[in-house]
Structure 1
Amino acid sequence: MSTPQFTVSQRVQRAVLIALSRMPAFLQQVLAKPPVNSAGDRMPADIALLMKLSAGGDDYADMSATAGRETTERDLALFSDHVAPCAIEEEVQIGNGLLATRYSSGGNHRSLIVFFHGGGFVLGSRESYTTPARMLAHGTHADVLSVEYRLAPEHPFPAAHDDALAAWRYVLAHARKWGIDPHQVAVAGESAGGNIAAVLCQHVRADPVQPVLQVLIQPVTDILGRRPSQDEFASSPALSAKQINWFMKHYLPAGTDYRDPRVSPLLARDLRDLPPTIVAIGGFDPLRDDGLAYAEALREAGVPTDIVHEPGQVHGFLSFTAVSPSCKQATERIVQAVAEALNKITSTTNKC
């Protein structure tokens, strides 16, 4: 993947944002007083300042899907840290126009993570999620396959899930060519991508080969229900109620049953026998309670589930790693949790 090419104006904007994010916390607090949520969690000063600056920017929910993509791709490039490329970065043609990028450290690994980017099923791309994909590959030493699933409204529900299943089957068929054990493949996703990963795990639950781990980062798990965090953070610059409605309007055709587990995986009748799970949540995320509800439901179903709770974080913090040290540190903690889980699974498998 190529390094983003910024205009002079964009380079200046990025430099200013990075400089502001590294100011002493007491100065940041003067510019933007960090809020405290109902749980008593305080937002880090660098994130509070970023949110204040973001609040005055363009809102993609006032745009067409095409214009929204252009805006968010530009912003994500500005906000994401520059991470060294992996030893191997190659485009993979899954079929029927479905593409993915494989990131590999080139080491003696046997694992792979199938990754689905965020963006409300309407925005986002492999390109704009290069940074978290590289961080996962470097930090876990597993390969990462970042999937360019189709987006709404051109390809509404359930196109993204069809693509996820196609990617999963392709990986199982081609894993050994990459030096990967098909029984050591995990799935991961952020936001809408977390929904896609969760639905995929439910879909293949009875198959001979299943994911060894699912990593759900700030996932969308229940479109039908409304929980307190959605009201508390309805005006969040990172993800507002207005933006959520814009996403759903584009993604779900009229008449879609919100109780369909492919829409709301939390509402599946049976969550037993799913893979061990990591659910990452942010304390200032409107989707926080959705993630917690899914984690609790998995635990009640007997699925080993760990929660990575980032109490000061907003939605989408994986994408703010250049302009917020707090966001980068939180992303690194998630990568570490995934690495530890994969190492534990690998060690257990090797002993059998």
Structure 2
Amino acid sequence: MVASLFLQSTKETKGRLYWRMPKELLLHTSIRKYITQEATVLAEKIVVSDNPSRKLHTRLRSRYTQELANINTRLKTAIDAHTHGSLDDIGLEQARSVHHTETQQLLQHKSDANFDFHSTNTETSSSHFFRRPVTKLYHIPINRIELPTGEVSDNPMDIHLGFEEHWGTIMGDPTHHTPTAPPCVEAQRAFLQTNVTRKLDASQQEYMDSDVTPHELSAAIKHMAPHKSPGPDGFPAAFFQIAPDHFAICLAAVFQERLRKGIMLPYQRNAAVTLLFKAGKRARPGNYRPIALIPVEVKVLSKALACRLSSVLGNLIHPSQTGFVKGRSIQDHIHFVRDLQHWCTDRDEHCFAAFLDFQKAFDRVNWSYLWATMTNMNFGPKYIQW
């Protein structure tokens, strides 16, 4: 699955981090039971719904906010009644007191749940007990930037604009000039038709172009790392792994509707971008690697499509490519280069080797050329549309 990332200009230099589901919640038996029940009901309703995307999004969001929303709604009703004269000052004060009490009880319940988790797991021989200690050693803020003039600035606005300028030209900010690859012209198409000899047969093409099934999505959910950083919605893979078969039914219905409409939901197209430091000077924007954290449900779809592709990739990719193909190892090329060195040494011949690295290669792929290549390999329109 292909996703395009666009950075947008903003006047804000920093803000609050987005909500993430606490890991402790998913360890409570009552919460796991409730999630399973909700997923079962949702799976039954979503297959007959005329808008499965909305039903899924609303259900997931309301599960953990409904109780707090009800508390706030009751207070708002009391305030409106007081404004219109149907509730006196004493009644309004009582409503405010009840609202405060219920809110504190909700917060206390959350605090107690966290305490119960830590008291239960901290002193037992569990994976939580043997986890790595939490450290802020790697949480180093970006507090300086090297400007194009060579000067170093610690002005937050300079840092924000400098990083946005650097990565905006690479990742497609509409306010910046981003060089785009030319479309696939007829000469290139003719080249592909002549040189692409490895193609899908009829049965493979039918399989690759078939609908994504709940079984594939369920398998993808089960094989994901449970607590990796989630996307902006805050739901980790561990949430879906509580009831993978039921959630797979829901997601299959949603994805089929999205494929029919030709676009994913707005929240499915959002990503939280974080910069990981690689090496060199921390003040240089180019020494960071941007990581886009997308919603887990979109990662589930990507994983299912990738697993389907891996079953035929070995027949399409030339044997000389040993990396990124199931059943092959890039170590083969390392041994091959060493064998070449010995071969040249034995014959006392002068040879040269060149190492090529494409800077930001993924962000500069000629997509039209890629689609044309896949079409010549007999991939169907549905798989390419994903």
Range into which the TM-score falls when normalised by the shorter chain: under 0.3
Based on CA coordinates, which of the two structures has the bigger radius of gyration?
A: 2
TM-score between the two structures when normalised by the length of structure 2: 0.20
Structure with more of its chain in strand, by fraction: 1
